[in-house]
């Protein structure tokens, strides 16, 4: 296309084959312009899941000798990235980038430099990374009978990703345990998430109101066996990304469970359902108590017992990095004084009853023994009379 009045030549939709020397002739004048063309392509059309590694291919073409290029990348946050060259030739450069995270979405810049000929060219390209904004492994703590909401935040709305993707939420108690499917989800044509509940044996809810592009499950009353790994898995064109939440549940118990009598002891037990990180531990303490009423677990202990003799409000804390994550109180009641006398009376009465029963058994045994001996003597006498009568008849 010729642009007037300066006779500009516009070459649109450039291809590598368009490289070369362009000559403008006017009367006896000739002006030559060398056109050097770069082509940058990115794998998967720039649509990635988190933790995937993009591949860039930079190709060049020119009418003369191809220069050796220096390539530098800048991500969407303007951080300098040094790519790893997989293949390098004067015409084709194949580069691998780092594993992508969701915050890498945006416009990247490929900076191409050469000293001879002098080249300083910036080529921009878009990268979209679909994934979870959660940490790689999130740990959530809850107490028995409490309500907990597990959330996974997708960035699909943020990057305006409206192409179809699907996913599912799975749960298993341990790494080697069976997997239970809780729900499936997919994106609609309008870019909205649609969820379908799968499990009927697991008591959970799907909240109706929640932030955009968020997968949530609500456990209205947490049980101790609801602990374990909850993994949200995302699928797009046969590729997968996932995010895990480890749910750790705490429970407390007492032995004996009844009121604490004066002079008696009770054992309080605090237990969590899964292993704790090295910087986390359990601690028992009595509210408004002394330092003597505090006991702390050792590293990697998931069960902590404390023997107490003082009634009051005791509390078990789960502490991580000096931060109390959860606390579960247990109120130890003091037994009334009359219960002590009832217990003493019951003990004395029980002893007397046992003594009376013992005496009764002895008397009954003696009486039974006497009856048995009397019956034995009568049988002997009867036998004796029979023998005497027999002898009289013979005479």
Is residue 343 predicted with pLDDT exceeding 90? no
- Residue 337 confidence (pLDDT): 54
Note whether 283 and 313 are same-domain residues.
yes
Examine residue 363 and state whether it is found in any structural domain, yes or no. no
Domain count, the chain: 3
Structural domain boundaries enclosing 90: 16-129
* Higher pLDDT among residues 354 and 312, named by residue: 312
Note whether 272 and 293 are same-domain residues.
yes
- Residue 345 confidence (pLDDT): 61
- Residue 261 confidence (pLDDT): 80
Is residue 386 predicted with pLDDT exceeding 80? no
Distance CA 342, CA 339 (A): 5
Whether the CB-CB separation of 335 and 259 falls below 8 Å is answered with: yes
**Averaged pLDDT, 347-358:** 70
Examine residue 46 and state whether it is found in any structural domain, yes or no. yes
- Residue 380 confidence (pLDDT): 63
Is residue 226 predicted with pLDDT exceeding 60? yes
Average pLDDT of the chain to the nearest whole number: 86
Q: Where is the domain boundary, 290, 313, 332? A: 332
Note whether 76 and 169 are same-domain residues.
no
Examine residue 374 and state whether it is found in any structural domain, yes or no. no
Examine residue 236 and state whether it is found in any structural domain, yes or no. yes
Is residue 55 predicted with pLDDT exceeding 90? yes
Residue 346 structure tokens: 């019951």
Band of pLDDT at residue 346, cut at 50, 70 and 90: low
Note whether 209 and 122 are same-domain residues.
no
**Averaged pLDDT, 201-224:** 88
15-19, 70-74, 282-286, 345-349: lowest mean pLDDT where?
A: 345-349
Note whether 120 and 160 are same-domain residues.
no
Is residue 128 predicted with pLDDT exceeding 90? yes
Distance CA 90, CA 38 (A): 12
Query: What are the two backbone dihedrals, phi and then psi, of residue 67, each rounded to the nearest 5 degrees?
Result: -80, 160
Examine residue 278 and state whether it is found in any structural domain, yes or no. yes
Band of pLDDT at residue 3, cut at 50, 70 and 90: confident
Is residue 360 predicted with pLDDT exceeding 80? no
234-264 tens-digit pLDDT:
999 999 999 999 999 999 999 988 788 888 8
Whether the CB-CB separation of 282 and 297 falls below 8 Å is answered with: yes
Note whether 142 and 119 are same-domain residues.
no
- Residue 263 confidence (pLDDT): 80
* Higher pLDDT among residues 71 and 370, named by residue: 71
Note whether 272 and 323 are same-domain residues.
yes
65-85 tens-digit pLDDT:
899 899 999 999 999 988 888
* Higher pLDDT among residues 147 and 12, named by residue: 147
Band of pLDDT at residue 338, cut at 50, 70 and 90: very low
Distance CA 363, CA 309 (A): 45
State percent of the chain over pLDDT 90.
51
Note whether 118 and 146 are same-domain residues.
no
**Averaged pLDDT, 1-7:** 74
Is residue 390 predicted with pLDDT exceeding 60? no
Q: Check the CA dihedral 205-208-213-214 and report its sign.
A: negative
Note whether 112 and 163 are same-domain residues.
no
Note whether 151 and 221 are same-domain residues.
yes
Note whether 121 and 166 are same-domain residues.
no
State percent of the chain over pLDDT 70.
90
CA nearest to 127, candidates 94, 110, 104: 104
**Averaged pLDDT, 176-190:** 86
Residue 134 structure tokens: 């959660």
**Averaged pLDDT, 10-32:** 89
Is residue 53 predicted with pLDDT exceeding 80? yes
Residue 26 structure tokens: 């006017």
Examine residue 283 and state whether it is found in any structural domain, yes or no. yes
Examine residue 338 and state whether it is found in any structural domain, yes or no. no
Q: Check the CA dihedral 214-323-299-266 and report its sign.
A: negative
Q: Where is the domain boundary, 200, 222, 248? A: 248
Query: What are the two backbone dihedrals, phi and then psi, of residue 160, each rounded to the nearest 5 degrees?
Result: 55, 50
Q: Where is the domain boundary, 184, 219, 248? A: 248
CATH code at 111? 2.60.40.10
Note whether 142 and 51 are same-domain residues.
no
Is residue 392 predicted with pLDDT exceeding 60? no
- Residue 389 confidence (pLDDT): 53
Examine residue 1 and state whether it is found in any structural domain, yes or no. no
């Amino acid at each position: 296309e010729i642009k007037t009045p300066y006779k500009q030549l516009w070459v649109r939709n450039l291809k590598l084959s368009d490289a070369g020397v362009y000559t403008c002739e006017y009367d006896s004048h000739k002006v030559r312009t060398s056109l050097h063309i770069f082509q940058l392509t990115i794998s998967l059309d720039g649509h990635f899941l988190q933790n995937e590694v993009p591949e860039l291919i930079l190709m060049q073409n020119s009418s003369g000798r191809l220069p050796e290029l220096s390539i530098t990348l800048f991500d969407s946050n303007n951080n300098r990235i040094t790519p790893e060259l997989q293949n390098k030739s004067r015409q084709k450069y194949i580069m691998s980038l780092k594993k992508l995270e969701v915050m890498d979405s945006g416009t990247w810049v490929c900076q191409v430099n050469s000293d001879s000929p002098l080249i300083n060219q910036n080529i921009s390209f878009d990268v979209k990374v679909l994934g979870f904004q959660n940490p790689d492994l999130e740990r959530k703590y809850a107490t028995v009978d409490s309500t907990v909401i597990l959330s996974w935040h997708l960035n699909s709305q943020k990057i305006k990703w409206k192409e179809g993707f699907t996913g599912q939420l799975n749960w298993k108690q341990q790494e080697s345990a069976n997997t239970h499917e809780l729900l499936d989800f997919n994106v609609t044509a309008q870019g909205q998430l649609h969820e379908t509940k799968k499990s009927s044996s697991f008591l959970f809810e799907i909240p109706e109101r929640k932030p955009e592009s968020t997968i949530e499950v609500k456990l209205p009353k947490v049980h101790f066996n609801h602990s374990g790994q909850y993994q949200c898995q995302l699928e797009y064109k046969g590729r997968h990304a996932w995010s895990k939440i480890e749910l750790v549940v705490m429970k407390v118990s007492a032995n004996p469970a009844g009121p604490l009598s004066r002079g008696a002891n009770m054992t309080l037990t605090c237990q969590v359902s899964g292993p704790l990180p090295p910087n986390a531990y359990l601690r028992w303490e009595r509210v408004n108590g002394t330092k003597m009423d505090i006991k702390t677990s050792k590293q990697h202990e998931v069960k902590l017992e404390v023997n107490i003799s003082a009634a009051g409000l005791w509390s078990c804390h789960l502490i991580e990095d000096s931060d109390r994550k959860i606390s579960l109180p247990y109120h130890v009641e003091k037994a009334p004084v009359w219960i002590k006398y009832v217990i003493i009376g019951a003990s004395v009465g029980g002893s007397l009853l046992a003594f009376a029963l013992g005496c009764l058994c002895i008397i009954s045994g003696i009486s039974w023994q006497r009856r048995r001996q009397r019956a034995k003597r009568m049988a002997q006498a009867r036998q004796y009379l029979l023998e005497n009568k027999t002898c009289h008849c013979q005479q």
